[in-house]
Chains A and B, each alone.
Chain A
Amino acid sequence: MIFLLLTAIPLLAALALLVPAGRFLPGDAAVARFGVAVSGATLLVALSAVTAFDFGAPERMQLEIDRAWAPAIGLRFHLGADGVSLPLILLTALLTFLCFLYTAKHPPAGDRVRLFTALLLVLEVGLLGTFVALDLVLFFVFFEVVLIPMYAVIAIWGGAGRRAAAYKFILYTLLGSGLLLAGMLLVGVNAGTLDMTELAARHGSGLTHGVQVTAFVLMGLGFAVKAPMWPLHTWLPDAHTAAPTVGSVLLAGVLLKMGTYGLVRVALPLAPDGAAFWAPWLGLFAVIGIVWGSLACLAQTDLKRMIAYSSVGHMGFVLLGIATLTPVGVNAALFGNIAHGLITGLLFFLAGAVKDRYGTGDLRELGGGMLTSAPRLASILTFASVASLGLPGLAGFWGEMLALLGAYKPHADLPRTTFVVFMAVGALGAVLTAAYFLRMLARITHGPVPDARLTAGPVAAVSRYEYAAWIPLVVLTLLVGLWPKTLLDVTTAPVRALLGGG
């Protein structure tokens, strides 16, 4: 029941905002407070779900709700969570809450806060629903619910080039969704059920090799667009750069995870033969993505665009982990998901704050000396960058390290030498990651303050709302990094179960 509540709260709140402004919550400030309250309530429900969760058996689906939805075609309204989805649910609820908190004081350029709040709430419904859905069609419905609000957020409140970016985003991901639906239906029709838990428990038995190979490539492509996997990534830099701060945070923090979560939750267990067939290709594209993304970052001149490209590299590590088809690799992917959500979410918040204060995100125009002109902001930016380049002791490291560990010894059916090469190339990509982050830091935080900035007056200090939005992310990055056991203990058992007890 708790997950029904989790998705119902933001949905009802979004519907309530349809009431004309004169009757309900007049004024932007009231709407902003409403958004904070609703997302805060959702976060509380998510936290209560965590307390209700039995951590003794994280591999079991818990807190389930299973009702008939459209019995004629075997659809069920089936929600639930296990150790794989629980951290993502919490991450989503947390990031959405922080976004509302941030928006309350820093509304996006272009006003229309009422519409913005409603769209974000619908977005939250879709995101949370994707992570709790246990029926293929239900999963797909939530997966698609996310697209429209995100499209609108980019197209209405975005920066320069927002139209083109929004079109590219929605058309590209819709194309992926089409393939995904085809793949899911292929599995569903052949297996005779749409229930994900049941399909996962079968581990592909009852499906022929050909069906599995076809289904995996269809579903895999759909998720790969979302993740995004090289070479299907070009929508991402445009969308991130054009989106308003909050949009970028949710896009990078949660939306990308839907792709990798889908691979782990749907594609791997439903079509294991197909996974084994395609895994080397997935690994290859993942590794190319790592190096490609890092190199692209080295040549970027825009802060937001650089962070966007860094996502391609980081998600490359996540995909590499999945491609190994080992428990440790999939663990790496889930860990990488959470770490990337925390760190890149924080980075996009900071990029937005920099743009607000300096009026530009261009590294050359920013000049240098941010540690002098805005020491706190620059310090947090340094922290986030260091976390993102995979420093041990912070969250980013464990996902990368475990992915490399998985690639060193992939699943027995996979070609070992190939994966060892992937491991070596991926590890070198980690050096490039350090290179572009340090280059960015050296450019904008170090050095003297340019004369033009000195005359422009002091830079606004970090506001309390900004601290409130960032500190939880900083603390969690530290916590998860120093004590990776918190996350690994939850995911290890369900991952073994998903991979067939491996």
Chain B
Amino acid sequence: MIVLASLTILLPFAAAFAGMLLGPRLSRLLRPRKVEPVPGGGPATTEQAWWRAAITAERSPLRNGPALLACLPLALAAVFAAIVAFTVWRSPGARTGTLTLIETGSVPIRVGLQADGLAAVVGLMVCCVALAVQVYSIAYMAKDPRYSSYAAFISLFTAAMLLVVYSGDLLLLYVGWEVMGVCSYFLIGHHWEDRANSRAAVKAFLVTRLGDVGFLLGILALGVGAKSFVIEDVLARLSEMPHATVTAAAFLLLAGVAGKSAQFPLHTWLPDAMAGPTPISALIHAATMVAAGIFVVARLYGVFVTGSGVLTLLGVLAVVSMVGSALAALAQDDIKRVLAYSTISQLAVMAAGLAVGADTAAIFHLLTHGAFKALLFLAAGSVILVTGSNLLGRYGGLRRAMPVTFWSMTVGLAALVGLPPVSGWFSKDAVIEAAQHAALHGDPEPQGWFSATPIPETGPPPPSITQFHGGALKAYAEANFTQVNWVAPPLPGWAAWLVYLGLLLTVALTAAYAVRLWLMTFFGEQRGDFEPREAPKLMTWTVAALAVPAAIMGFFGGGAEELRPHVGSALIALALAGLGGGAAFLLWNRDPARDPARVLGPVRPVLERGFYVDELYALVIVRPVRAAARLVVAADARGIDAAVVGAAGAARRLGGALRAPQNGNPQTYLTGLLAGVVVIAAVVVVFL
């Protein structure tokens, strides 16, 4: 079991090194068909050259060294992850394994893994989405002269995320967490010829790194408090630790979560990260990176529940993120930026679920979101390949030329909005229902078939036994039937209402921007100058394959009571979605050639720039740091170093003063001698 889990991590990891070092060589060995050299590659490639390269690459995937090295190990890893998930499903419970113990002189680091229900399903999702991205990239990135390093970094990215998922030790988790950060830097900046991409990559790394500082300090506080970095031990000893320590650690961890999962106020990197190739956006938004933040909250839910006020803050940040980014998504021109803001918004929905104590629903939404957001980004990539543009204003009327992409994207957008019976409806409804419950009744519903948290011995929070009913995941649910779970303390009334109303507002806004995107892309007249046709098959099929889980995954949640749709909340949400979507449709229908977002009027630039948060940060953080840097250099040169050099000068001057009597003139010496004799004589006469 643990061996399989570790192989799941190690295969993509090894694939990354092999692809980096041997990929092109293997290609030469396999003697590929003659690919027309694409001069320069990168974003400046002409559409025709790109297209021809994609078709050639698609016809000979087995002769493509980097592609083989990237896809085969990952496919194998996906199989292993499926076996792990299946085993955990059949005989539930956490399995742990330790490779070695590293002594540090204080708290040791345990290099070990932990495969439980939560890790198994998320790990499987990660492998599947990453595999889809890799297969899709074979055609999409065929034009690229640096495809081999690109594929290798995806493999490394996947391995890092899997390490986060399966890790049984907080520091090991942190290793994966940070490696993901640097992979995102390399992949977002893949087309580094353009300075804008390079800036986006640096921004993504630095913003998440800022959050990660908090995350690392939180881990250290927990580890020292529990005298162990093992996740199980930390959760088991929460009640013995000082309450203040746990609360502080939870807030610090929250900083890292906000950074990785792009929640306010550390969300600014995600829209800019669209500078990366489109499959990378799919990877970052669906399977890795942003999912890690939500995953970690679920993994360490006990810490967040025990620390007081943390969930309230999480809920408030989630509301700000979800409403703000949904508004921003309304006004974007770039299809990828619409989807990027929608990711922030949907992650905030998960965070809201966690805040109101619905951790199962949140993870469920993470899984369905993984499927439909990967689908949406890959489909957007197909549209971009065909039209040669990112801008919604240049699309139009694509539904006839791109039927597969159209229907897949329709499923994806329906899931995003939360229309029955596609997956997003089930998961979002579960979150909304939990928020409604919290707002109306004040206490969270019992949750938890994903969690495998150990029993707290004493103290808060009060344990409650979760109950489950039949269905597809019944056995999964029984996994933890006897287990006791963390129950979130009720949010303060105002916060619960805020979360609930925020969720409802977001539903309406989500419907509006999703409908706008759908109509502007696939309906009306063609506005840009391009030849409409379907994307290469390798890409279309991948997108279509992802449409299957995006459509039906919701039914798998039927096994757990809290994941079943509820009539009341579902009706309210549907009515609001209809309102938002209907408004977008009516506005569009007035003049299909024009952008419905025009009605936003003077507010639009504000929304388009994401409320000027970037500009604010530049003013408050970036500029002062730069000024401080200049100040330090000046202080070093004119203060500290000047003192050092000055000391040398002073020594020389002192030497000069002492040298004055030693001028080699006998007269001076004799005069001095005589004067000395006179003085001594005088002293002797006077005092003796």
CB distance from A11 to the nearest CB of B (A): 33
* Segment among A192-200, A338-346, A482-490 that sits at the interface with chain B: A482-490
CB distance from B51 to the nearest CB of A (A): 24
Return chain B residues, CB-CB under 8 Å to A446.
189, 192-193, 195, 197-198
Our pick among B201, B217, B629 for the contact of A404 (Cβ within 8 Å) is B217
A488 to B171, CA, bound (A): 15
A408 close to B632 (CB less than 8 A): no
1/0 contact string of A415-433 vs chain B (CB within 8 Å)? 0000000011001101110
Given A328-B106, A402-B104, A423-B220, 8 additional A-B pairs, CB 8 A = A168-B644, A299-B633, A326-B106, A330-B105, A393-B179, A427-B217, A489-B103, A492-B103
Query: B603 near A: Cβ within 8 Å?
Result: no
A171 to B201, CA, bound (A): 44
Considering the complex, give the chain B residue whose CB is closest to the CB of A499.
B105
Return chain B residues, CB-CB under 8 Å to A392.
174-175, 177-179
8 A-B Cβ contacts within 8 A? Answer: A234-B636, A296-B636, A392-B174, A405-B106, A408-B217, A408-B221, A442-B201, A447-B192
1/0 contact string of B623-634 vs chain A (CB within 8 Å)? 001101111110
B220 close to A391 (CB less than 8 A): no
Known: A328-B106, A404-B217, A492-B104. A295 touches B628 (CB 8 A): yes
A430 to B193, CA, bound (A): 27
CB distance from B475 to the nearest CB of A (A): 36
1/0 contact string of A62-73 vs chain B (CB within 8 Å)? 000000000000
Query: B477 near A: Cβ within 8 Å?
Result: no
A292 to B641, CA, bound (A): 14
A484 to B193, CA, bound (A): 36
Query: A351 near B: Cβ within 8 Å?
Result: no
Q: List A94-140 residues whose CB lies under 8 Å from chain B.
A: none
Q: Could you say which of B105, B198, B220, B644 has the most chain A C-beta atoms within 10 Å of its C-beta? A: B105
1/0 contact string of A432-450 vs chain B (CB within 8 Å)? 1011001100100111100
CB distance from A286 to the nearest CB of B (A): 16
Return chain A residues, CB-CB under 8 Å to B648.
171
Our pick among A234, A300, A428 for the contact of B213 (Cβ within 8 Å) is A428
Known: A295-B629, A392-B174, A489-B103. A431 touches B192 (CB 8 A): no
B104 close to A409 (CB less than 8 A): no
A18 to B223, CA, bound (A): 58
A297 to B216, CA, bound (A): 24
B-contacting residues of A (Cβ < 8 Å)?
168, 171-172, 231, 233-235, 292, 295-300, 326-331, 368-369, 371-372, 386, 391-393, 397, 401-402, 404-406, 408-409, 423-424, 427-428, 430-432, 434-435, 438-439, 442, 445-448, 484-485, 488-489, 492, 495-496
CB distance from B247 to the nearest CB of A (A): 15
A-B contact count (CB 8 A): 141
A393 close to B175 (CB less than 8 A): yes
* Segment among B202-210, B309-317, B569-577 that sits at the interface with chain A: B202-210
Which 4 pairs between the two chains have the least Cβ-Cβ distance?
A327-B105, A328-B105, A298-B629, A328-B106
A402 to B223, CA, bound (A): 12
B224 close to A434 (CB less than 8 A): no
B106 close to A447 (CB less than 8 A): no
Q: List B609-626 residues whose CB lies under 8 Å from chain A.
A: 625-626
Query: B185 near A: Cβ within 8 Å?
Result: yes
Query: B539 near A: Cβ within 8 Å?
Result: no
CB distance from B188 to the nearest CB of A (A): 12
CB distance from B185 to the nearest CB of A (A): 7
Query: B474 near A: Cβ within 8 Å?
Result: no
Query: B139 near A: Cβ within 8 Å?
Result: no
CB distance from B663 to the nearest CB of A (A): 27
Our pick among A234, A329, A405, A488 for the contact of B103 (Cβ within 8 Å) is A488
Q: Could you say which of A402, A428, A431 has the most chain B C-beta atoms within 10 Å of its C-beta? A: A431
Query: B107 near A: Cβ within 8 Å?
Result: yes
B105 close to A299 (CB less than 8 A): no
B626 close to A298 (CB less than 8 A): yes
Query: B35 near A: Cβ within 8 Å?
Result: no
B102 close to A485 (CB less than 8 A): yes
Query: B482 near A: Cβ within 8 Å?
Result: no
A431 close to B206 (CB less than 8 A): yes
A405 close to B636 (CB less than 8 A): no
Return chain A residues, CB-CB under 8 Å to B216.
401, 404, 427
Q: Could you say which of B174, B185, B628, B633 has the most chain A C-beta atoms within 10 Å of its C-beta? A: B633
A495 close to B629 (CB less than 8 A): no
Our pick among A171, A296, A329, A428 for the contact of B633 (Cβ within 8 Å) is A296
A405 close to B632 (CB less than 8 A): no
Q: List B209-243 residues whose CB lies under 8 Å from chain A.
A: 209-210, 213, 216-217, 220-221, 223-224
Known: A328-B104, A393-B179, A428-B213. A405 touches B202 (CB 8 A): no
Return chain A residues, CB-CB under 8 Å to B675.
none
Q: List B632-688 residues whose CB lies under 8 Å from chain A.
A: 632-633, 636, 640-641, 644-645, 648
Query: B322 near A: Cβ within 8 Å?
Result: no
A231 to B628, CA, bound (A): 17
CB distance from A91 to the nearest CB of B (A): 20
Query: B100 near A: Cβ within 8 Å?
Result: yes
Return chain B residues, CB-CB under 8 Å to A442.
195, 198-199, 201-202
B100 close to A485 (CB less than 8 A): yes
Q: List B95-115 residues whose CB lies under 8 Å from chain A.
A: 100, 102-107
B106 close to A391 (CB less than 8 A): no
Query: B409 near A: Cβ within 8 Å?
Result: no
Q: List B147-204 residues whose CB lies under 8 Å from chain A.
A: 171, 174-175, 177-179, 182, 185, 189, 192-195, 197-199, 201-202
A331 close to B633 (CB less than 8 A): no
A485 to B205, CA, bound (A): 28
Return chain A residues, CB-CB under 8 Å to B223.
405
Return chain B residues, CB-CB under 8 Å to A445.
192
A296 to B210, CA, bound (A): 19
A489 to B100, CA, bound (A): 12
Q: List B356-379 residues whose CB lies under 8 Å from chain A.
A: none
B192 close to A371 (CB less than 8 A): yes
B179 close to A327 (CB less than 8 A): no
A495 to B104, CA, bound (A): 11
1/0 contact string of B453-472 vs chain A (CB within 8 Å)? 00000000000000000000
CB distance from B160 to the nearest CB of A (A): 9
Considering the complex, give the chain A residue whose CB is closest to the CB of B214.
A427
Return chain B residues, CB-CB under 8 Å to A489.
102-103
Our pick among B102, B105, B206, B628 for the contact of A495 (Cβ within 8 Å) is B105
CB distance from A228 to the nearest CB of B (A): 11
Considering the complex, give the chain A residue whose CB is closest to the CB of B103.
A492
Known: A295-B629, A296-B632. A431 touches B213 (CB 8 A): yes
A298 to B632, CA, bound (A): 10
A442 to B275, CA, bound (A): 15
Return chain A residues, CB-CB under 8 Å to B171.
401
Considering the complex, give the chain B residue whose CB is closest to the CB of A438.
B202
CB distance from B566 to the nearest CB of A (A): 43
A235 to B641, CA, bound (A): 8
Q: Could you say which of B194, B631, B636, B645 has the most chain A C-beta atoms within 10 Å of its C-beta? A: B636
Known: A432-B625, A446-B195. A408 touches B224 (CB 8 A): yes
A327 to B221, CA, bound (A): 18
Considering the complex, give the chain A residue whose CB is closest to the CB of B202.
A438
A231 to B107, CA, bound (A): 33
Known: A168-B644, A299-B632, A430-B213. A409 touches B224 (CB 8 A): yes
A431 close to B193 (CB less than 8 A): no
CB distance from A486 to the nearest CB of B (A): 10
A439 to B644, CA, bound (A): 30
Return chain B residues, CB-CB under 8 Å to A331.
104-105
CB distance from B627 to the nearest CB of A (A): 10
CB distance from B196 to the nearest CB of A (A): 10
A352 to B19, CA, bound (A): 29
Return chain A residues, CB-CB under 8 Å to B209.
430-431, 434
Return chain B residues, CB-CB under 8 Å to A329.
105
A172 to B633, CA, bound (A): 20
